[in-house]
Amino acid sequence: MLVAALQFAGVRNLASATLEPAPRFNVFVGENGQGKTNLLETVYLAATLRSFRTARLAEVIAHGAAQAHVKARVSRAGVTRVYEVAIEAHARKVRLDGKAVRPVSRYFGEFNVVLFAPEDLQVPRGAPAERRRFLDRAVFNRRPEHLLVVADYDKALKSRNAILRSVSDGVKSARSVEDMLAVYDAQVASLGAKLAANRRAYLDEMRPDVQAAFEAITRTGFAVDARYSDGPRDEEGLKLALSSTRAKDFARGSTSAGPHRDDLHFVFEGHDAGAIASQGQLRALVLAWKTAEIDRLTRVHGEPPILLLDDVSSELDPARNRYLFEYLEARPGQCFITTTHAQFVLLRENRVDHQVANGRILS
């Protein structure tokens, strides 16, 4: 898989440009705030129709611009396709090979990217919501339809919460919203069961790979794991949970049962990794997750995904950083790497460096 050309305009602080990335390592060097991460965001947008930095796509639009536009020409297994997204204040237009895509699910599945950002290294000790996003991003790469399940679940959940708030705020009575609430209970239960099942299935696949990768990185013999804590495991169980917590939900104005409350737990030697593992061990664990994710996708799709590496080198100790780049050199595939200092990127061959300054990509 190869991004043969990347075109963007109206994206954050980036000057409009067309790039023809190198087939292996593309290194973008510059001080913080110059636009390096924005560049990775354009690739991520073209592949996923989402930003990894904000849930509000309108924030991607440059100040004073009417829209943000990204186009990527991607070659895979001898076939070239053009992925295109235009983002306006209240709309998103998607095209594949120059044609509008309906349904949007047809857009996904052939353009796979894996992002590794400094924020990922904080996930084991971060908030549960951050771990859920981290997990969902990985599941989407493995099963593109998961993104639509998450989007539909979020929509149903917001609608249910709006009804609950209308009661908690005294606008409506609990009795008057019973019929509407029953409709959204059914939607939340059905979609929530699918969402949680996708997460559990992915973790079942990943678990042995993460352990193997952690041992390859650390050579310590420590046992690591990733577990999913959830509530009811099927649609009927989730319906029952929604019904039994309804009085509490009316009082608080939000839904207290469902996969939006679940969590991903990183485990170190049988205990919560965030509580007992050192900072270096936690970073090795996240690095193991990412390398396992890349290897899993390579096996599933028959070729490696595009890797987006956002200034991770500055957050890793020398040993972990060396392992990362030895791993990247040994695997095929295209990488987009950002850094504040070129020497942090321990790659000797097949790299093309660009300077990034004031939103401009300089060769």
Q: How far apart are alpha carbons 264 and 167 in whole angstroms? A: 32
| Burial class of residue 302 (count of CB atoms within 10 Å of its CB; 0-12, 13-18, 19+) | exposed
Residue matched to tokens 């339809």:
145
Dihedral of CA 354/346/296/281: which sign?
A: negative
pLDDT tens, per residue, the chain with 363 residues: 999 999 999 999 999 999 999 999 999 999 999 999 999 999 999 999 999 999 899 999 999 999 999 999 999 988 999 999 999 998 999 999 999 998 888 899 889 999 999 899 899 999 999 999 999 999 998 998 998 999 999 999 999 999 999 999 999 999 999 999 999 999 999 999 999 999 999 999 999 999 999 999 998 999 999 999 888 889 999 999 999 999 999 999 999 999 999 999 999 999 999 999 999 899 999 999 999 999 999 998 889 999 999 998 888 888 888 999 999 999 999 999 999 999 999 998 999 999 999 999 987
Look up residue 203 and give its amino acid: L
318: its two tokens: 């020398």
Q: Could you tell me the strand order of the sheet in which 2-9 lies?
A: 17-19, 2-9, 68-76, 79-88, 91-96, 99-100
Q: What was the pLDDT predicted at 49?
A: 93
| Burial class of residue 350 (count of CB atoms within 10 Å of its CB; 0-12, 13-18, 19+) | exposed
User: Which residues touch 142 (CB under 8 Å, ≥6 apart)?
Assistant: 202, 205, 296, 297, 300
* Structural domains in the chain, sorted by start: 1-112+305-363 (3.40.50.300), 125-297 (1.20.1050.90)
Q: What was the pLDDT predicted at 360?
A: 96
Q: Where are the beta strands (DSSP E) in the chain?
A: 2-9, 17-19, 25-29, 68-76, 79-88, 91-96, 99-100, 113-116, 224-229, 263-268, 271-272, 306-310, 335-339, 351-357, 360-362
Q: Give per-residue burial for 15-43: e unless 16+ CB within 10 Å, then b.
A: eeeebebbebbbbbbbeeebbbbbbbbbb
Residue matched to tokens 């796509």:
57
Quote the DSSP letter at residue 62.
Answer: P
Quote the DSSP letter at residue 306.
Answer: E
Residue matched to tokens 């990217």:
113
Q: How far apart are alpha carbons 247 and 237 in whole angstroms? A: 17
Torsion of CA 176, 182, 185, 191, to 10 degrees: -130
Q: What was the pLDDT predicted at 208?
A: 93
- Cis before 259? omega within 30: no
Q: How far apart are alpha carbons 289 and 117 in whole angstroms? A: 13
| Burial class of residue 153 (count of CB atoms within 10 Å of its CB; 0-12, 13-18, 19+) | buried
- Using alpha carbons, select from 111, 102, 133 the residue that is nearest to residue 120: 133
Tell me, yes or no, if the pTM score tops 0.85: yes
